[in-house]
Every structure is written in structure tokens, then in C-alpha cells.
Amino acid sequence: MRTIRMTDVDADRQLADLRAALGLEQGLVADWQKAIANTRSPLETVREVLHAVRTRGDAAVTEYTERFDKVQLSPAQFRVAQADMDAAARTMPANVIEAMKRAIENIRRYQGKTMACDPADVVVGGRRLSMAYRTLRRVGVYVPGGATAYPSSVLMAAVPAQVAGVEEVVVLSPPTQDGQIRTPILAACAVAGIREVYRLQGVAGIAALAYGTETIRPVDKIVGPGNQFIQLAKKEVQGTVDIDSFAGPSEVLVIADESADARCIALDLLSQAEHNPGCCILVTDDEGLRRRIEAEIDVQVRQLAQGDVVARALDRFSAMILVRDMDEACRVSNYLAPEHLQIVTASPRSLLPKITAAGAVFLGSSTPVAVGDYIAGPSHTLPTGGTARFASGLSANDFRKRMSVIEYTAEALAEDAPHIVALAELERLEAHARSVTARLKKP
């Protein structure tokens, strides 16, 4: 794990290189690409699948699910039966079901409290201006399959949509080689009250949700994490549907001072590095703490089952940054705009006003990222790759749209008419001007 000292003459260049390493291209899944041809770019692969599904519907979904997931499914088998979801929930240990229910309770409480309300009308003379919120009707949630099941992704994306009032929340997840979605994912759907679940190849499934097929109705928005191909697919269908974000590898930045516990910080960093890929960054003003954390990481990596994966992430995507003081620590963090920012200092809340760019902020030694990943209430679907400079985490508000509402009286229109006409004529939009003046001539 490299060390960047902000006193070094090339520190700015090293930081720029680190920020560049956080981009989506680092999440390439080479094996998936090889399934078509080594010479194909990921985007070419994605566009091929999207076009096929858009033009051939269910037949293309069946073809690509067999081609990439090695599973033969007829269109009648795409949708998971409610009985299968209920059965999956019954196989889960009681403590897991209880944890899911607690997470759902917390998510609903937080998302409900943070939903935007219609603001008061702005009334000026005969002008009444307002804003009205309307909920999306149908939303798709992609949940990754692969070697590990992520039931938390169901809860963190689907429950905020439910809180917003979305009528139809649809979950999509790729099947395993036995043709089934992983049991924990189905169990989470059952506990959360999701009734429409599909087992489809990832990119083909994204296309089906965006364009619709003979058996799958299109949605208004698609959300959820996934590898580079899933993210490219979402980006390609944006405009046909809305999406949450174009996400890259998971990342954490920890700002820590001498009061921090080296072992806990090491584990916080490693918890992100064990994502494949994952990025972890330590920012501290204490060289002694940096050395203790470095030593602790060496010990912990050897004890992890995925130690080889973690070691590669530490070499490629991670760094320890030694700063002069906490003000500089905040500036470095804002420059990198991390997905997760932990502030583990003697007075963590005092630094919060200086933070301008982070997906989620975790304050204090008792608030590891895992709290937000699983139980706290805010969604763990967060901006990555530096996009926290301008983007926010998923919330119930993202499943609603705003409409401006404008109402004029005849007197108000007459008062503003000269200004409207002047601007319309300046832009040579004659009909615009006439649409106003015609109303003024009425008795």
C-alpha cells in the first residue's frame, strides 16, 4: 500500500493518479468479455445485447442467458414464482430474517423522514407558481448474482422506492447454473414484499426492463449496482429510462488522527479492499498512526480468506496519505470525493462543515461503513469514482419527479405581456408572441 506525503514535490500528481484509478474502467470483468471475443470492447458487447433484445425480445433474452449464464430458460420461466420466494425466506436462519426486518424498518423510517414535500405556492399578484411531486409508477432493481449473494442490495434500492410510493418494484438478478436466483436474494425480496422478480442474464435483463419484451413490461427507472457491463448497459438505456448512476468500484476514505484505533481503522480499510475491485485510502496527520495501521493491515490480510484479492486491491487502488493537518485532510478528501468517508478523530463532527464532496459520511469511532451498508437507513447505493463532487446517494426522492405548476390571471398576463413579447421577438419566435397578444384582444 503506497504512501503519499503531501510535503513531497510531486504529491499533487500522485493524488491525480490516484483519482484516475478510481474510474469505472478498473471494474472490467475480463471473463465476461472473453465469452464473446477478446477483440470486442465492453461497450460493443453491451450494444450488441441491447440491440438484440430490443429487436427480438424474449428470444434474445433466452439466447444470452444461455450463452453467458449457461442456463436454458423459456420466457415462461423468466419470472420467479411467489412460492419460491416464500420458500427461500423459510430456509433463512431466524437471526438473518430479523436483521432484514430491522434494516427495512430503519430504511423506511429514514427515507420517510427525508422525503421532500410540496413547497408552499409562490403568489405574486395574479400569478400562482408551485411545484408538485409525482411518484414513478414502475421501477427495476438490478441485484448482482455471481459467487456472492447481496440481499442488502435488494433492501437498499427497493425499500426507498416503496417508501416513495412506487406501485411496481421489479427485481432482476442473474440465475446460477441451476437456473435459480440465490436464496438470500429471494428471501430478501419476500421479506420486503417484492412480488415481481426475474432471473435473467444481466445486460439482457437491463434491456428487457428498459425496452420491454413479450413477457416483461418496461419500467420508468433502473437502479442497482453491478459490474462494468451492467453499468454500461444502464448508461446506454438512459434516456429511454432513468437510471440511478454510472457506478465504479467501491471505495472508502478514512480521515484519522492520533486518537484512532489502528486495528479498527485497518479493518475499515480492508472491508472495502475485499470488494473486487475495491479502493481504500487513509488520510492522517500522524506518522505513528500510519505505521501502526500499515503493520495491522499486514497482519489482517494474512488472516482473510480473500487475502489475495485484498492484497491486489491494496497494491493497485489504495494509498496512505500523510497530511500536515486536518484542514489539509479535508481538502484532500474533497478532491477525491469518496463514496464512503469515515472521520475518526477526537472531534469528528467539527470537520463535517469542511466536507463538500462525499457519498456518505460516517462520524466517530463507533460508526464503521458496515453500519451504513446494512442497517442504518440511508441507502448504500452511493456515487463512486469521484462523482460525489456533483452526485448524491440513492433516496426515496429519486423515485419521484417534480412538475412546475404555473397559473396566471388575465390581469397578470396583461402585465407581463410586453416582456414576453419582447423576448419572443428577439428570438424570432413569432407564434410565441402572438399566443400572448391574442389573449389580450379578448373582451
**Looking at 16-126, which runs of residues are DSSP E strands?**
122-124
Region 49-72: mean pLDDT is: 96
How many angstroms separate the CA atoms of 356 and 333, rounded?
A: 9
How many angstroms separate the CA atoms of 226 and 224, rounded?
A: 7
Lowest mean pLDDT, pick from 2-11, 395-404, 419-428: 2-11
Is the pLDDT higher at 29 or at 349?
A: 349
Q: What is the pLDDT of residues 148-180, one digit of tens each?
A: 789 999 999 999 999 999 999 999 999 998 999
Dihedral sign, CA of 32, 38, 42, 46? negative
Is the pLDDT confidence value at 38 over 70? no
Contact 27, 278 (CB under 8 A): no
Lowest mean pLDDT, pick from 43-57, 147-161, 299-313, 314-328: 299-313
Q: β-strands 340-344, 360-363: how paired?
A: parallel
How many angstroms separate the CA atoms of 310 and 327, rounded?
A: 30
In the prediction, which pLDDT does 277 show?
A: 67
Distances (CA, A) of 371 to 109, 240, 361, 375: 16, 35, 11, 6
Q: What is the pLDDT of residues 343-378, one digit of tens each?
A: 999 999 999 999 999 999 999 999 999 999 999 999
Is the pLDDT confidence value at 28 over 50? no
How many angstroms separate the CA atoms of 139 and 422, rounded?
A: 43
How many angstroms separate the CA atoms of 181 and 89, rounded?
A: 13
- DSSP assignment of 405-435 equals EEEE-HHHHHHHHHHHHHHHHHTT-HHHHHH
In the prediction, which pLDDT does 390 show?
A: 95
How many angstroms separate the CA atoms of 348 and 360, rounded?
A: 14
User: Of these residues, 274, 275, 296, 340, which one is catalytic?
Assistant: 340
Spatial neighbors of 126 by CB under 8 A, at least 6 apart, are 408, 409, 410, 411, 412, 413, 415
How many angstroms separate the CA atoms of 409 and 385, rounded?
A: 49
Residue 53: count other Cβ atoms within 10 Å of its Cβ. Answer: 30
Is the pLDDT confidence value at 33 over 80? no
Determine the distance from the C-alpha atom of residue 118 to the mean position of all C-alpha atoms in its chain, rounded to a whole number.
25
Distances (CA, A) of 196 to 182, 350, 385: 15, 45, 32
In the prediction, which pLDDT does 5 show?
A: 95
- DSSP assignment of 298-318 equals HHHHHH-TTHHHHHHHHHHH-
How many angstroms separate the CA atoms of 388 and 382, rounded?
A: 8
In the prediction, which pLDDT does 228 show?
A: 86
Answer yes or no: 340 catalytic: yes
Spatial neighbors of 218 by CB under 8 A, at least 6 apart, are 138, 209, 210, 211, 212, 241
Lowest mean pLDDT, pick from 168-182, 225-239, 299-313: 299-313
Report the number of secondary-structure helices (H) and strands (E) in the chain: 17, 14
Q: Which has the closest alpha carbon to 54: 178, 236, 258? A: 236
What single-letter DSSP state applies at residue 129?
A: E
Is the pLDDT confidence value at 443 over 90? no
How many angstroms separate the CA atoms of 315 and 249, rounded?
A: 15
Region 194-217: mean pLDDT is: 97
Q: What does the CA dihedral 39, 44, 45, 51 come to, rounded to 10 degrees?
A: -150
Q: What is the pLDDT of residues 334-345, one digit of tens each?
A: 999 999 999 999
User: Of these residues, 339, 415, 425, 430, which one is catalytic?
Assistant: 339
**Looking at 303-423, which runs of residues are DSSP E strands?**
319-322, 340-344, 360-363, 400-408
**Residue bearing cell 388575465:** 410
Region 374-391: mean pLDDT is: 94
Residue 416: count other Cβ atoms within 10 Å of its Cβ. Answer: 15
What single-letter DSSP state applies at residue 365?
A: T
Answer yes or no: 432 catalytic: no
Q: Which has the closest alpha carbon to 250: 374, 378, 340? A: 340
* Grid cell locating 361: 459520511
* Grid cell locating 30: 475480463
What is the set of domains in the chain, with CATH numbers? 2-20+249-391 (3.40.50.1980), 75-243 (3.40.50.1980), 411-440 (no CATH)
Region 31-60: mean pLDDT is: 80
* Grid cell locating 252: 472508502
How many angstroms separate the CA atoms of 224 and 227, rounded?
A: 10
Q: What is the pLDDT of residues 242-259, one digit of tens each?
A: 999 888 788 999 999 999
How many angstroms separate the CA atoms of 213 and 196, rounded?
A: 15
How many angstroms separate the CA atoms of 271 and 257, rounded?
A: 20
Is the pLDDT higher at 147 or at 377?
A: 377
Q: What is the pLDDT of residues 269-286, one digit of tens each?
A: 998 888 766 789 999 999
